[in-house]
A and B are shown apart, each in its own frame.
Chain A
Amino acid sequence: MRIIGAQLGLKSERIVGNPSPRKEGRDKVTGHARYVDDISLPGMIYGATVRSQIPRGKIKKITFGPEINWNDFVIVSAQDIPGKNYITLIVNDQPCLADGMVNHPEEPILLLAHPDRHILPKAVAAVSIDYEPIPAVLDIDASERKSPVIWGADNIFKSYLIEKGDVESIWEKADHIVEGEYFTGAQEQLYIETNGVIAQFDPEQGVTVWGSLQCPYYVHKALMAVVNLPENKVRVVQTETGGAFGGKEEYPSILAAHATLLAMKSRRPVKMVYDRAEDMTATTKRHPSRTRHRTAVSEDGKILSGEIDFTIDGGAYATLSSVVLSRGTIHAGGPYYWPNVRIRAKAVATNTPPQGAFRGFGAPQSIFAIERHMDRIAQVVGLSPVEIRRRNFLKPGQTTTTEQPVNEQIDLQKLLDRALELSDYDSKKLRFAKENQVGTQRKGLGIAAFLHGAGFTGSGELYLASVAGIEGRADGSVHVLVSSTEFGQGTNTVLCQIAAEALDLPYEAVGIAQPDTMEVPNSGPTVASRTAMVVGKLVESAARKLKRTLRDRGLLGETYTPEEFRDACRKYVSAHGKFREFARYEQPSDIFWDDQTYRGAAYAAFSWAIYIAEVTVDLLTYRATVDDFVALQEVGRVLNPVLAKGQIAGGVAQGIGFALYEKVEWRDGRMQNPQMTNYIMPTSADVPPIRVYFHELGNTYGAFGAKGIGELPMDGPAPAIVNAIEDALGLPFNSVPLLPEDIFDALTKNSAERDALLTAGPP
């Protein structure tokens, strides 16, 4: 078991709230951090995947080309699977390897392994597969038309209905009925380290998998089913992970299963690392979405009632679509008071590679829609984007769309005031209005107000029943034991800070064990912005338990020095052996959620945010660029200001990509631009100054008052930017990514409009 970063000595100040240095940071900046492709095992061979070239069809024949010496290869098909041919997740509909039928391009069919990594691409190309194609559906519209039905009875993975109050009778009473339709495209997580694992099999020990992953216990569970081995014969270890963002939440289970099958058949360790093109074409992306709003609004701009229709494209198999749908559905109303609302949501199947988790997980999609819609409502009613929000913000005591009461003293008016001040909104609006009269640059400002629920929805945390541990070792050092993984967001650092704080020890005295299912308890998946808040709280509890145990044994006084603590641990271990204390998640008694009616307290805590984007649209090139970005959020408690700022800035940059650059070009269900040169993420030359500010209201349910922040910043940038572009141009845009070509097309639909905009002659 590898321990990260425990050093003994040095007393430090109060830890939580301070910029404690990244636990594994020194290794990262010196190039010593070891990612899975940096690791080699003796006798290791390499694996590759033969994949479907069509969206849907029957496999008629597989031919192995004569130009390859197949005797040198290990070949695995569905027939070689000892256990179940599916990847355990929610519905278990996704095959580990296609068996006779394929349902999406890039679906894995065969696995090959060989000692020479370089030979594999040629071997993969030498396998030819004859298919009998079957009609496929490739987008939401076709899926809804059921032409044809490709999944279940009706192409619907999951649907939800939220009903609050009385929707129908309000339509007549409305002074305005505002409709809108909003779209978001697929988005690739684009972690700089691609997916990769190493698998090893030993008939006695069982299976061991090392890999770049977020959720070792998800992989563990999936492997048990595929290899038909009990839980103590399967071991999953997370290696240093180079970015994940949700893209390594469920996908690694598939890759791990594949490498394991090859390892079992060959009796050699097998490494499988995807190259960039394979990773982009074959693994999960953000669910594309379509949201339709129909809102009854009063003369003075208050939302009276509404219908929201939220649909996401889940790809060919269910994977996590039901949960993405859930979060998107619950966030669809934004941070506003809806006295009445009906939200119909569904996740549909298409013959494209299954979509999956990506930071925000449904919320960026539905929040894009509501925040664009609020600006539309503002226009119809004749109010400003600022005022329309003021009139509808949730207040403490009011209930959300799921009838969860807001029971913290969040003041969104004040938060908005502060954001407007920080972005110099009022004076810039005046200035831009003047400046936009001439020249070829149009400037605009846009607002996004939103909330993000931290932790698993409703009874999710209860169901997870997470456990965290703390170990006091023979040498007196302390280690956090969790399956929560570090992939840049600061898990190691924050959990060590919390433990050190709870134990009155210096930060340097606490380390964290490498997530290894043989060594650490299941603290749940590292997702849903739950790690600091939920797992941190468990770490805190376990730490306090540890302290209490030492005190109860008379080994520690009420106050103590770090040296005394070390001594106490040493004594305990020599007397009693392994010294570990655990804490298990307990659902707070005042959180109620009804899964049937989708009503109640959806999340233990919400973070709140106002983001303001300043953009310029160049009328010569139709490029929109973000010149300044203010990100203000209430997050409970900032546990580490440097890490927290980094999370927000990084999320905003991804949001800018989501809004303006990152387009997946689809053809016949396959991504056509799977290169970094053609799938465009922002470079250092593309990000504006991102100004990050925090507000802290605390949180009863979170460690030291923390709420989740990892995903929050993904929700705001796209609507803020598109709102700003509409402000600049006076034309609405309802779809992201919004490319210059789209802006140009919209502006020139009406050529008189276009000429009017280009009033300038020579500058």
Chain B
Amino acid sequence: MRSDPAEFELVAPESLPKALSLLAENPGAWLPIAGGTDVMVQFAAGKLPARKLMSIWNLGELRRIEVLPSEIRIGAGCTYTDLRGDKTIAKEFPLIARAASWVGGIANQNRGTLGGNIVNASPAADSLPALLAYEADLILVSVRGERRVAYRNFHTDYKKTQLAADELVRAICLPRRFLGYLAYTRKVGTRNAQAISKVCLAALGRLDAGVIADVRIAMGSVAPIPIRLAETEKILTGRRVDSALLLLARKTAATEIRPIDDIRSTARYRTEVANNLVAEFLGRLGASGTRP
């Protein structure tokens, strides 16, 4: 353990308004920590730059799942275990439920939070592609009030987000309109469990009379931020799934991703596997004959 706890402050405001006041008093001074599954690893490695931390773990306001007619709102403090245990998520947002089951082991699922995954903003984070596929919105909150942003725009660069220095993510909103879609997600990691992802794909698709009516393809670990393959989605929409389309999809996807060589894998491998996953998804979509 390479950090000295004596050099750190950790406070635990008792309510969300109190937490927001503290952030507002001194924006950027306090690092929020929820389940700690990212922050505490950095801390133990002696690599945590922050010296003042603010615990948001016990804030009940952040840990609700609200089911509204047109959307669900997942509190940012919900753990992966919370997500896995929710019936609506299991039924209508299987990409989220699957991603939650990939995180670490059960112990880390009991502590890691969706908000933490988002704000930590690792491009390899398991749940982020699913959020992109589901067109999530985030509700950000500060003493100045609430604002709603499209998750699609939230990540601006490697580990940089739109979150202001005095803001917290309050909730993640997912529109309830994907029930009829084919949901496909796959993570390729270093092993079957407790694996950091080398490539991750979360995709949704719907056929209408055999033709792709709507398709969303989101990927992690292939760019500095999690991305939607917008160009690929464009060339797919309105087409029938056949081998020509698969080749075109692979080619287009390869132009949209920018994977790197790193300690876990190579750019070449990531590109190839990303293409293969896109093809596998399209193959399933083509075979599904789903209706809205």
Interface centre among B192, B277, B282, B284, by most chain A C-beta atoms within 10 angstroms, is B192
Please report the total number of A residues contacting B with Cβ < 8 Å. Answer: 37
Interface: A740 (CB within 8 A): yes
How many residue pairs link A and B with beta carbons under 8 A? The number is 89
Residues of B within 8 A of A (CB): 1-6, 41, 45-46, 105, 188, 190-196, 241, 243, 246, 263-266, 268-269, 272-273, 276-277, 279-280, 282-284, 286-287
Contact A745 B3 (CB under 8 A): no
User: In the complex, which of the residues B105, B188, B283 contacts A761, with contact meaning CB atoms closer than 8 Å?
Assistant: B283
Q: Does A10 contact B (CB under 8 A)?
A: no
Shortest distance between the CB of A582 and any CB in chain B (Å) = 45
Asked if A118 and B1 sit within 8 Å, CB to CB, the answer is yes
Tell me whether A121 and B3 are in contact (CB under 8 A).
yes
Using A661-B190, A686-B193 as known contacts, say yes or no to A762 and B277 having CB atoms under 8 A apart. no
Closest to B265 in A: A741
Give a binary string over A592-622; 1 marks a CB under 8 Å from any B CB, 0 the rest.
0000000000000000000000000001111
Judging by beta carbons under 8 Å apart, are A121 and B46 in contact? yes
**Nearest A residue to B269 by beta-carbon distance?**
A741
CB atoms of A684 and B269 under 8 A apart: no
Partner of B193, one of A622, A665, A684: A684
Residues of A within 8 A of B273 (CB): 620-622, 744
- Interface SS majority for chain A: loop
Do A740 and B193 touch (CB < 8 A)? no
The reply on A672 being an interface residue by CB < 8 A is: yes
Name the one of A440, A661, A685, A761 contacting B246, with C-beta atoms under 8 angstroms. Answer: A761
Query: B194 contacts A683, CB within 8 Å?
Result: yes
Closest-by-CB residue of A relative to B287 is A762
Binding stretch for chain B, among A297-305, A307-315, A674-682: A674-682
- Closest-by-CB residue of A relative to B198 is A740
**Chain A min CB distance to B155 (Å):** 22
CA distance A741 to B264 in the complex (A): 10
| Separation of A762 and B105 alpha carbons in the complex (Å) | 33
- Contact of B4 (CB < 8 Å), options: A122, A672, A741: A122
A745–B271 Cα gap in the complex (Å)?
12
Q: A683-B194, A684-B193 are in contact. Are A762 and B283 (CB under 8 A)?
A: yes
B269 and A622 contacting across the interface, CB-CB below 8 Å = yes
Since A118-B5, A620-B273, A620-B280 are in contact, a sample of 9 more A-B pairs with Cβ atoms closer than 8 Å, ordered by chain A residue number, is A277-B45, A440-B280, A620-B277, A625-B192, A661-B190, A677-B41, A683-B192, A685-B192, A744-B268
Closest to B272 in A: A744
Answer whether A275 and B1 are a contact pair too, CB < 8 Å, given A685-B193, A741-B265, A763-B287: yes
Closest 7 CB pairs of A and B: A762-B283, A685-B193, A685-B192, A620-B276, A118-B4, A121-B2, A741-B269
| Chain A nearest Cβ from B193, distance in angstroms | 4
Closest CB of chain A to B141's CB: distance in Å? 32
A residues lining the B interface (CB < 8 Å): 116-119, 121-122, 125, 275, 277, 440, 619-623, 625, 661, 665, 672-673, 675, 677-678, 680, 682-686, 740-741, 744-745, 748, 761-763
Which of B41, B269, B283, B286 is packed against the most chain A CB atoms within 10 Å?
B269
Please judge, given known A-B contacts A118-B4, A277-B45, A762-B286, whether A745 and B268 are in contact too, CB under 8 Å: yes
Minimum distance in angstroms from B96 CB to a CB of chain A: 21
A residues less than 8 Å from B272 (CB atoms): 622, 744, 748
A-B pairs with beta carbons under 8 Å apart, 26 shown: A118-B1, A118-B3, A121-B4, A122-B4, A275-B2, A620-B273, A621-B188, A622-B273, A672-B263, A675-B45, A677-B41, A677-B196, A680-B191, A683-B192, A684-B193, A685-B192, A686-B192, A741-B268, A741-B269, A745-B269, A761-B243, A762-B241, A762-B243, A762-B282, A762-B283, A763-B280
